[in-house]
Amino acid sequence: MKMTERIRKLREQSLNAENRISAERALLITEFYKSGVADAEPVPVQRALSFKYILEHKYICINEGELIVGERGPAPKATPTYPEICIHSLQDLQILNDRPKVSFKSDEATRAAYRDIIIPYWKGKSNRDRIFQNLPQEWKDAYDAGIFTEFQEQRAPGHTALGIKMFRTGLLDLKKEIAESLAKLDMLNDPEGVDKRDELRAMDIVCDAMIRYAERHAEKLEELAAVEKDPVRKKELEQMAAICRKVPAHAPETVHEALQHYWFIHLGVVTELNPWDSFNPGRLDQSLYPLYKKQMEEGTTTREEVYEVLQSFWVKFNNHPSPPKVGVTAEESNTYTDFCLINVGGVKEDGSDGVNEMSYILLDVIKEMRLLQPSSMIQVSKKNPDRFIRAAVEIIKTGFGQPSVFNTDALVQEMLRAGKDVRDARNGGCSGCVETGAFGTEAYILTGYFNLPKILELTLNDGFDKRTGKQIGLKTGKATDYHTYEELFAAYRAQVQHFMGIKLTGNNIIERIFMKHMPVPFLSILIDDCIVKGKDYMCGGARYNSSYVQGVGLGSITDMLTALRYHVYDHKTVSMETMEKALENDFKGYEDLQYQLVYHTPKYGNDDDYADEQEVQVFDMYYDVLSGHKSPRGADYRVNMLPTTCHVYFGKVTGATPDGRNAWKVLSEGISPVQGADTNGPTAVIRSAAKIDHIKTGGTLLNQKFTPSLLSTEEGCNNLVHLIRAYFRMDGHHIQFNVVNAETLRDAQKHPENYRDLIVRVAGYSDYFNDLGEDLQNEIICRTEQTTF
Amino acid sequence: MCGNIFDIKRYAIHDGPGIRTTVFLKGCGLHCWWCHNPESQSMGMVSMKQVRKLNGREFDELRPVGYEITAADLVEEIAKDYVFFEESGGGVTFSGGEPLLQPTFLLACLKGCKARKIHTCIDTAGVASGEYLEEICRYTDLFLYDVKTANPEKFRQCIGEGFEKACDHLKTIAERGNRVIVRIPVIPGFNDDSKSVEEILALLQTMPALREVSLLPFHRTGSDKYKRLDMEWKMGDVASLKEDDLQGMRATFREAGYQVL
């Protein structure tokens, strides 16, 4: 359905708004803490009162013509900061302002506020300061060497989505639950009784704060209605005011109410802190459909109205860039995307086909809006009809990288394997890039990327990092000391174990800091069973708790090990001495060897068992090393394989590698083959990718690039459906398609001005091509373009 | 049972229904000017120049084209994409070269594939002795049968010997009830004039079992290979055809009652 004129305007406004820093939130929270009013309160109550203070004083922004109201900052793309998590220096603000990609402008007033008020108060007191104060030197050395990254150093743990239940529940209902939980507390015998009481008090405060915040919107809307000349808009403003007086206090009863209800909740979560993966409405078609159906039956709405309010809702997400990141965190996630991933399709709680009329409506909205945010995906179960996938392919083929495609049956198996109840599993999905979660019941926190290829480089150098000049690994020997492939791999495994130990120790220190200093009572009321347990989301209050360390560069590490096994050990075509020298010299003077390594060596992604054996070996080892550990909040550590943009950063810290890759060049992303190494077509890639056991993960990411010609016919589109079905029969977790030809991309590099709307799939998310760094642009161009044969 | 092949292409989606794996058998008795697989024509191994770039530097190598493989190994290789075949209604296509020039090997492969319930297709010009043809037909679900011209003289001039054989085999296959799609490569200056089209139409009409026709526009993609093989590209600078260029011819066949794919 076509956009109405006002939606077109709102969309334009969103696209044209400048990304800038707003000091509003930082100033309000500074005022609050400076006032000392809550100094005597326990931490959760302090946090709740600061939340209340912000929501009471924050500017209420209502954009002309919009149907869903509420902004994270005072205007679209005016982005708040979180000084209690990470305090930006004036220099940071300058860098954010000036950097060519993913910039955030700041004006003189903002800089003055930072200089005179915000920095003087928070300097040395932010969570980031606490974290770096507490981490051991070996962690810092490994971090500087680029062995791993740390998600929580500038942002807060989030990684969760709203469950369907919260679309049927109002905050007043939650207040009742909180009161019941308080009443049940055993203050005499429960050693945690006091903590629970404090937490529940905090939860109650945030409910009131949010209801009041919605009322402030109602008041403003009523003011606007009073002076509105256009009778149609006047009525609309009055209706919107009524909605804001109803939700989120009460459960929504219409599609419009449900979307406004979610939006207030979303604003609450992202105002309380800056969680990684902002927040997510999750299974939106499942949540909205019963309301839609009822309204249509009663004749109280029309499809046109529903479309328009959904489109207005879509614009809201696009108004919210991810909060500014600097340093390594900016490198690993260099994007405005705030990783909100709308799930469409999948199965219902009882396991039956979940695709409904709303699923198709949402696909239409995705197609028509064509916005970077929110991101979208389809869940595909064997129970869903082909027609549904086919409808998604119609959007995929237009080449803006959405929706990505997930395997519901695999997700459910992954969650069952992790011990979840089958209903919770079926109500779940994926958020962020590709992360599996039980929506509304799980805290599945990503903690950082892990550089698998770099560790092989260290293994070949006796644990010494040449780039930073430090001995950071174990002294397992030099390359020439490994006489067999098995010896080499055993040493590699020992190094991975060593660095994983360092990473997890750091994680646990950081998690304790968040548990103690950064409770999130608002997020906690939304996720079961925080209220029942009287426990914060940060402290293990969720029904299920998982923590992830994301493996990066599976394709690269597989090809590196394969090259060594093939040339040095099995065929002895190259001696380890020669290989060492070639790597040391970045293949200068060894170009013929490099040619052999690139073009005449088995490669992952071609359904070649010789190469794929190393893929499975590395994956299983990584799984073994990480599994079985528990975090302080009681979470189980699990693996997933996704990179965001970290494969670029990890490449920048990794020297020449035995697969013929030059020093500092990009590594492979997700579980995709090394860029250009897959020459046997998509079925071979899929077969290779399916050799690891996806069910043991919490997400894998497979990127495939298709030229438009491959999808120009009915038959071509149908074959894409078949390709997806086949991968999913093999338990593949996720696949996404970039449909664009290399020539277009090259031209876009030369004439960015003509391609401002060009969105491409990066890795688990889409981004504007122009906002990507040149290296990442090049990488996307060189990723294999699958063509017809 | 060994045969000579020179390539296996997976996710071939233009060589029959669904997602297919196309196996290119080596050797062909014809020498069509427009052939886009000239490396396939000789039965023995040939070398093709290949220039690849790495960091801006060019590396030349002589790549051998063609290798021996047993029917059992080939079937194993084909079966790797079984799940894709099943999902899409695809299968294997034996192309070439001229697959009928290695009839016993082809037959062994077909039997192996049918034993695994894989849909089989043969892409042929029919220029072969016809040995085992009857048995081959029994294990083949679909023929893509190239008809390039119905003019024996032109055939001899531009393509080679074997026009009568090609016609006989087509007749045999069609009459025994196998599904056949007649594929006509439309070559500018060779068979795109109305007389040529009428001749082809007349030939097809002598075999009433033939109902499906597909037209393939000439393209220049193979021209580069001629240089790399030190062979002469006789098509000169004739431009590739676009789908639109075939509209008239498509209409002719449609009007004559054929299903044009």
- Is the peptide bond between B248 and the residue preceding it cis, with omega within 30 degrees of 0? no
Mean pLDDT of chain B: 94
Neighbour-count burial of A267, counting CB atoms closer than 10 A to its CB (0-12 exposed, 13-18 middle, 19+ buried)? buried
Number of Cβ within a 10 Å radius of residue A776: 22
Question: Is the overall model pTM greater than 0.90, yes or no?
Answer: yes
Nearest-by-CA chain A residue for B86: A726
B87/A591 touch (CB, cutoff 8 Å), yes or no: no
Q: Which residue in A430, A433, A539, A646 is the catalytic one?
A: A433
Q: What percent of chain B has pLDDT over 90?
A: 77
Is A62:A224 a contact under the CB 8 Å cutoff? yes
CA dist A723 to A642, A695, A705, A718, Å? 21, 19, 13, 9
- Taking contacts as CB-CB distances below 8 angstroms, the residues of chain A near B82 are none
Residue A20 β-bridge partners: A78, A105
pLDDT digits 0-9 by tens, B156-172 = 998 999 999 999 999 99
A719/B13 touch (CB, cutoff 8 Å), yes or no: yes
d(C-alpha A158, C-alpha A148), whole Å: 19
- Taking contacts as CB-CB distances below 8 angstroms, the residues of chain A near B119 are none
pLDDT digits 0-9 by tens, A10-46 = 999 999 999 999 999 999 999 999 999 999 999 999 9
10-residue block means of pLDDT along chain A (789 residues)?
92 95 98 97 98 98 97 97 97 94 95 98 96 97 97 94 97 98 97 98 98 98 98 97 98 98 98 94 98 98 97 97 89 87 98 98 96 95 98 91 95 98 98 96 97 98 98 98 98 98 98 98 98 98 98 98 98 98 98 95 97 98 97 97 91 98 94 88 95 98 82 90 98 92 81 69 67 78 55
Please check whether residue A290 touches B, CB under 8 A.
no
E-only strand ranges, chain B: 2-12, 20-25, 46-54, 57-65, 67-70, 91-95, 119-124, 142-146, 180-186, 212-217, 259-260
Please check whether residue A585 touches B, CB under 8 A.
no
Whether A486 is catalytic: no
Q: What percent of chain A has pLDDT over 90?
A: 87
**Coil, strand or helix: which one is A466?**
coil
Give domain limits for chain B. Answer: 2-33+65-260
d(C-alpha B240, C-alpha A165), whole Å: 60
Which token pair is B199?
A: 């001749």
- Taking contacts as CB-CB distances below 8 angstroms, the residues of chain B near A729 are 83, 87
* pLDDT at position A789: 35
Is A317:A373 a contact under the CB 8 Å cutoff? yes
A681/B10 touch (CB, cutoff 8 Å), yes or no: yes
d(C-alpha A293, C-alpha A314), whole Å: 21
Which token pair is A363?
A: 């696909």
E-only strand ranges, A469-569: 470-471, 544-552
- Taking contacts as CB-CB distances below 8 angstroms, the residues of chain A near B9 are 681, 789
* pLDDT at position A762: 65
Q: Using N-to-C axis directions, what is the helix angle for A193-227 and A171-184, rounded to 10°?
A: 160
Which token pair is A503?
A: 């990473």
Best residue in A680, A683, A718, A737 to probe B by mutation, most B CBs within 10 Å?
A683
By Cβ distance, the residue of A595, A683, A788 closest to B84 is A683
A681/B80 touch (CB, cutoff 8 Å), yes or no: no
Which residues of A, range 612-671, sit inside 8 Å of B by Cβ?
660, 662
Is A21:A81 a contact under the CB 8 Å cutoff? yes
Residue B4 β-bridge partners: B68
Query: Which DSSP helix (H) or strand (E) runs through A703?
Result: strand A703-706
Whether A539 is catalytic: no
Which token pair is A276?
A: 């990684």
Chain A nearest CA to B204, separation (Å)? 27
Please check whether residue B11 touches A, CB under 8 A.
yes
Q: Which residue in A66, A308, A435, A669 is the catalytic one?
A: A435
Which residues of B, range 228-247, sit inside 8 Å of A by Cβ?
none
Which residues of B, range 48-67, sit inside 8 Å of A by Cβ?
52, 54-55, 57, 59
B81/A687 touch (CB, cutoff 8 Å), yes or no: yes
Please check whether residue B13 touches A, CB under 8 A.
yes
* pLDDT at position A323: 92
Number of Cβ within a 10 Å radius of residue B230: 10
Instruction: List the one residue out of A664, A665, A727, A668 whose CA is nearest residue A692.
Output: A727
* pLDDT at position B77: 97
- Taking contacts as CB-CB distances below 8 angstroms, the residues of chain A near B84 are 683, 722-723, 726
**Coil, strand or helix: which one is A477?**
coil
Best residue in B54, B82, B118 to probe A by mutation, most A CBs within 10 Å?
B54
**Stretch B125-146: mean pLDDT, rounded?**
97
d(C-alpha A244, C-alpha A455), whole Å: 53
- Taking contacts as CB-CB distances below 8 angstroms, the residues of chain B near A722 are 18-19, 84, 87-88, 90
Chain B nearest CA to A347, separation (Å)? 21
Residue B8 has pLDDT above 70, yes or no: yes
B83/A595 touch (CB, cutoff 8 Å), yes or no: no
Report domain B2-33+65-260's class: alpha beta
Instruction: Tell me how many residue pairs between chain A and chain B have CB atoms under 8 A apart.
Output: 70
Number of Cβ within a 10 Å radius of residue A615: 25
